[in-house]
């Protein structure tokens, strides 16, 4: 499980940087403090399922990708 949390954190950070966004911008999008988002990205906080869905939709990837369950970013519809 810890492996998935680390992979989630790495992928979240990579997606944020690909879009050239700051931690503060994502924190505002999530209605969280910048510190709270930093803790998420550092793997110190597990995100609730609704936040996971919100992040996946925002970045246009599947939740499975964010969670490290697949290498495919695409959403299966």
The verdict on residue 76 lying in a domain is no
Mean pLDDT of the chain: 92
Q: State the CATH number of the domain containing residue 27.
A: 1.10.260.40
Measure the CA–CA gap between 63 and 35, rounded to whole angstroms: 23
The verdict on residue 73 lying in a domain is no
**Residues with pLDDT less than 70, the chain:** 1, 77
pLDDT of residue 59: 97
Contact of 57 with 68, CB cutoff 8 Å: no
The pTM assigned to this predicted structure is 0.89
The verdict on residue 34 lying in a domain is yes
The verdict on residue 19 lying in a domain is yes
Measure the CA–CA gap between 22 and 49, rounded to whole angstroms: 22
Total structural domains within the chain:
1
Contact of 3 with 68, CB cutoff 8 Å: yes
Domain range enclosing 25: 2-66
Measure the CA–CA gap between 17 and 53, rounded to whole angstroms: 19
């Amino acid at each position: 499980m810890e492996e998935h949390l680390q992979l989630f954190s790495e992928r979240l950070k990579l997606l944020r940087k690909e879009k050239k966004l700051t931690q503060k911008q994502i924190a505002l999008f999530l209605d969280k403090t910048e510190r709270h988002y930093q803790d998420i990205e550092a793997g110190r906080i597990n995100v609730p399922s609704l936040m996971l869905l919100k992040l996946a939709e925002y970045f246009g990837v599947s939740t499975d990708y964010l969670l490290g369950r697949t290498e495919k970013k695409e959403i299966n519809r």
